[in-house]
Structure 1
């Protein structure tokens, strides 16, 4: 942690069947986390095409859906130069963050999520 910046990083297996939970409650109801950025990249050449979704609920998400109010961050990659990510700036994480991912072939996807306190 440096100047209120935190990083979550790891891998998520696809298809997983459940959303991965990142417990973020810091004991304060007045200071909460906000996601600043999200990036994904393939861990093998088999699962180059991937999507990662950040959301508030524990229901696994397999597709990006901007009309789903539980979703607030999205990232995609094709394993080459076509990476894209967006985080809705109008969100605050009061409790937990959930992460879902989907790939064209079963495998793992790497992620890096930057948070601000």
Structure 2
């Protein structure tokens, strides 16, 4: 399984597997029962992102370097980046609760 939103600037995700596995998941997991397939425009955006990555493989290295720099600066600023590791382009900033997360843009020192 993978994500299209974080990896390819699209939306949604995918599960690859046998027909039996995919059918079982589709009929038994809450995330599939109350959802629909991704629209063609979203699938096209993911395909276009993959094509762009094929054309310029250095883009992935650039994204990893930027994520590492963000993680470094976030930790230096005292932010909690959870279990994020070098090599991952997804770097969370854990605020502790929903209210703090919602207030973050206005409640954060230096924001604005």
Tell me, yes or no, whether TM beats 0.5. no
- The structure whose residues are more often helix, as a share, is 2
Larger of the two Rg values belongs to structure:
2
Question: Which TM-score band (shorter chain)?
Answer: under 0.3
Q: TM-score, normalised by structure 2?
A: 0.24
Q: TM-score, normalised by structure 1?
A: 0.23
- The structure whose residues are more often strand, as a share, is 1
**Looking at both structures, which has the greater relative contact order when contacts are Cα pairs under 8 Å and sequence separation is at least 6?**
1
